């Protein structure tokens, strides 16, 4: 346990990584604040809320202020710490790939890190791993699964299940026979690649 108070950036960084509100005691436990320093830490957290860096969302729960361009979604319960999944349409241009999210939570493209997977225009699910820290940054995440061509009944139903929390995290991309069957039922534009923006979003620089 640390008798010294954590730095401002430590508190803000923890809340950004967790993606949900936390109580002072939860913050203190994860930042290893000593019991003897808890009262001082509570005053420190309250001062961050007073200056606008944190927001009090319940009598004793704090969340980090969201930068312009995205809205944080609170979990259904304080103990819900499952990975955040986002559904949308997969876009690819060269080596870059990103997700145009269906949800209103994210108004900027979700940049996908790692090796590119899936097909341009697919309905897809990604795991949100990094919230933007500044208004001009994009959120970042990793590809989870392709649900087939966007607009097909199976793909849209899968996204509804995901939004309702009934779709488990699946790391399997649809096989080619399934994709071919779904593509035959879809009425996609003749040139879907034209829907891609002229310039692919650039992933924020990482330290």
Tell whether 144 is covered by a domain: yes
pLDDT tens-digit map of 127-143: 888 877 666 678 888 89
For residue 187, pLDDT beyond 80? no
Cross-strand partners of 86 = 126
Tell whether 178 is covered by a domain: yes
Query: How far is residue 67's CA from residue 55's CA, in Å, rounded to a whole number?
Result: 12
Q: Do 177 and 103 fall within a single domain?
A: yes
Tell whether 25 is covered by a domain: yes
CATH for 174: 2.40.50
Query: How far is residue 123's CA from residue 126's CA, in Å, rounded to a whole number?
Result: 10
Tell whether 104 is covered by a domain: yes
Q: Which domain holds residue 133?
A: 85-187
Q: Do 44 and 109 fall within a single domain?
A: no
In total, how many domains does the chain have?
Answer: 2
Q: What is the DSSP string of the chain?
A: -BSSPPPHHHHHHHHHHHTS-EEHHHHHHHTTB-GGGHHHHHHHHHHHHHTTSEEEEETTEEEEPPPTTB-PPPPSSTT--PPPEEEEEEEEETTEEEEEESSTTB-S-EEEESS--S-TTEEEEEEEEE--SSTTPPPEEEEEEEEEETTSHHHHHHHHHHHTT-S-----PPPHHHHHHHHHH----TTGGGGS-SSPPPPPP--
pLDDT at 40: 93
The arithmetic mean of pLDDT across residues 14-41, rounded, is 88
Q: Which of 42-56, 97-111, 180-194 has the highest mean pLDDT?
A: 42-56
> Higher confidence at residue 175 or residue 86?
86
Residue 58's CB: how many other CB atoms inside 10 A? 11
Q: Do 57 and 93 fall within a single domain?
A: no
Tell whether 115 is covered by a domain: yes
Tell whether 196 is covered by a domain: no
Q: Do 95 and 35 fall within a single domain?
A: no
Tell whether 193 is covered by a domain: no
pLDDT at 200: 55
Q: Do 38 and 92 fall within a single domain?
A: no
Q: Do 165 and 99 fall within a single domain?
A: yes
Cross-strand partners of 106 = 70
Tell whether 46 is covered by a domain: yes
> Higher confidence at residue 170 or residue 118?
118
Instruction: Name the residue among 94, 155, 78 with its Cα closest to residue 124.
Output: 155
Q: Do 53 and 92 fall within a single domain?
A: no
Q: Do 59 and 130 fall within a single domain?
A: no
Query: How far is residue 40's CA from residue 131's CA, in Å, rounded to a whole number?
Result: 29
Check: CB of residue 131 under 8 Å from CB of residue 141: no
> Higher confidence at residue 199 or residue 43?
43
The arithmetic mean of pLDDT across residues 76-87, rounded, is 55
């Amino acid at each position: 346990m640390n008798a010294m108070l954590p730095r401002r950036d430590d508190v803000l960084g923890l809340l950004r990584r967790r993606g949900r509100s936390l109580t002072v005691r939860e913050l203190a436990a994860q930042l290893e604040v000593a019991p003897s320093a808890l009262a001082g830490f509570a005053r420190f957290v309250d001062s961050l809320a007073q200056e606008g860096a944190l927001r009090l969302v319940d009598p004793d729960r704090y969340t980090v202020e969201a930068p312009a361009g995205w809205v944080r979604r609170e979990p259904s319960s304080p103990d819900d710490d499952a990975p955040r999944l986002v559904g949308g349409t997969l876009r690819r241009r060269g080596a870059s790939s990103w997700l145009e999210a269906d949800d209103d939570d994210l108004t900027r493209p979700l940049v996908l890190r790692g090796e590119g997977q899936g097909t341009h225009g697919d309905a897809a699910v990604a795991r949100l791993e990094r919230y933007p820290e500044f208004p001009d940054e994009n959120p970042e995440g990793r590809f989870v699964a392709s649900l087939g061509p966007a607009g097909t009944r199976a793909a849209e139903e899968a996204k509804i299940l995901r939004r309702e929390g009934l779709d488990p995290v699946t790391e399997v991309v649809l096989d080619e026979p399934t994709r071919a069957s779904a593509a035959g039922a879809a009425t996609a534009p003749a040139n879907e690649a034209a829907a891609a923006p002229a310039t692919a979003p650039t992933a924020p620089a990482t330290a």
